[in-house]
A = this chain, B = another copy of it.
Amino acid sequence: MDQQQNMVTYSADRLLEFTARVFEHFEIPAADARLAAEVLSASDLRGIESHGVARLSAYVGLLREGEINPRPNLKILRETPSTAAIDGDNGLGLIVGPRANEIAMDKAAEVGTGWVTVNHSNHFGIAGYYPLQALKRDLIGWAMTNSSRMVAPLWGAERMLGTNPIAIAFPGEEEPPIVMDFATSAVAFGKIEMADRKEQPLPLGWAIDKQGRETTEPEAMMDGGALLPVGSDRDRGGHKGYCLSAIVDILTAVLAGANWGPFAPQFVMRDRVAPRDRRVGKGLGHFFGAMQIAGFMDPAEFKQRIDDWIRTFRATKPAAGTPGVQIPGDPERAAEADRREHGIPLVMPVVEELREVSRITGVPLD
């Protein structure tokens, strides 16, 4: 645990163990606690710190206040051979998500594909975790989730949609898999916060103020403004980003029976002004898909084709002044290799939150 630049580095195993024991402390069964910890750990390992143990304290807050059910019984509300609609019984998304994803994968193994909506859930970690599980079963996995409002639809001046991520992964044979996992906003809210802290202007195209005008001031976004969808403005295809975010919102929430659009519950991180009086469904919603490769093509042939695709795209003539074309998943895989070897560096505010969690639960951290 070297301490430098206001960071403390922990091994992934150490954090995983700590997280699992913290969840167990709140009456979550051991296997589920470990599963939830693994989802958070996957995020830290892949370099997406915002969705890893940095959120543990928020989950703990919800668990302490009894706002999350530690022992959810998932209910299948509707079912066909290739679909299911699930009520997550207000469990941790980190537990409900993986179970629902299993159902999608089981259906894919049975009838070629499986598609599962989930309502009454909570934040499920990084979307990319789920298609990574599907890869282990030779399936092409999809995951989407809605989230609390942060993004304006094109030509709107208020937050109506979450950053609503989409993830999907494709296996290679000799090459590592292609893993896509991206929010449908131009940027993450964290980038606005960071610019605010550093007192730096935002690039145009990230955010609007509360009148809906593009702004370069972090505060103007934070004070009643909104993020823009990917594409930013009409000229550059902001309507496409709005469509994408809306697709995620409709599949994960309207179709799932969860709270859609502006009614998605707020995560507890900072502001917590859930418009509960205007609930239009239950909790947060997710959408999982799994497709048998063999339902379309010989899996070995597909993987060779993916290898060929990867090598061809890597060999793209690079744009002047750039590192050249990357394959989706490259940065996260590089982060994981580094962090498995050298540990996961946490900034001091997160370390302090974890120490507080340790005090509350009696689970030792350091």
Partner of A78, one of B113, B297, B328: B297
- Shortest Cβ distance from A117 into B: residue: B296
Q: How far is the CB of A68 from chain B (nearest CB, A)?
A: 24
A322 within 8 Å of B (CB atoms): yes
Find chain B residues with CB under 8 A from A322 CB.
Answer: 155, 212
A273 within 8 Å of B (CB atoms): no
Find chain B residues with CB under 8 A from A321 CB.
Answer: 213
A203 within 8 Å of B (CB atoms): yes
A95 within 8 Å of B (CB atoms): no
A81 within 8 Å of B (CB atoms): yes
A130 within 8 Å of B (CB atoms): no
Q: How far is the CB of A316 from chain B (nearest CB, A)?
A: 4
Find chain B residues with CB under 8 A from A80 CB.
Answer: 111-113, 292, 294-295
With contacts A82-B82, A291-B115, A320-B157 known, is A309 near B261, CB below 8 A? Answer: yes
Q: When each residue 218-240 of chain A gets 1 if its CB lies under 8 Å from chain B and 0 otherwise, what string results?
A: 00000000000011100111011
With contacts A230-B230, A232-B236 known, is A296 near B85, CB below 8 A? Answer: yes
Find chain B residues with CB under 8 A from A83 CB.
Answer: 112-113, 291-292, 295-296
- Shortest Cβ distance from A208 into B: residue: B319
CA distance A319 to B211 in the complex (A): 6
CB <8 Å contact, B82 and A112: yes
Partner of A203, one of B113, B115, B235, B293: B235
CB <8 Å contact, B160 and A319: no
Chain A stretch 137-155: residues in CB contact (< 8 A) with chain B: 140, 152-155
Find chain B residues with CB under 8 A from A180 CB.
Answer: 243, 246-247
Q: How far is the CB of A176 from chain B (nearest CB, A)?
A: 15
Find chain B residues with CB under 8 A from A237 CB.
Answer: 182, 185-187, 230-231, 241
CA distance A152 to B244 in the complex (A): 21
CA distance A328 to B239 in the complex (A): 8
Between A and B, 9 residue pairs with Cβ closer than 8 Å are: A85-B295, A111-B111, A170-B250, A212-B319, A213-B320, A230-B231, A230-B241, A255-B302, A281-B305
- A-side residues, CB < 8 A to B, are 78-83, 85, 111-113, 115, 117, 140, 152-158, 160, 168, 170, 178, 180, 182-187, 203, 205-206, 208, 211-213, 230-232, 235-237, 239-244, 246-247, 249-250, 254-257, 260-262, 280-281, 291-297, 302, 305-306, 308-309, 312-313, 316-326, 328
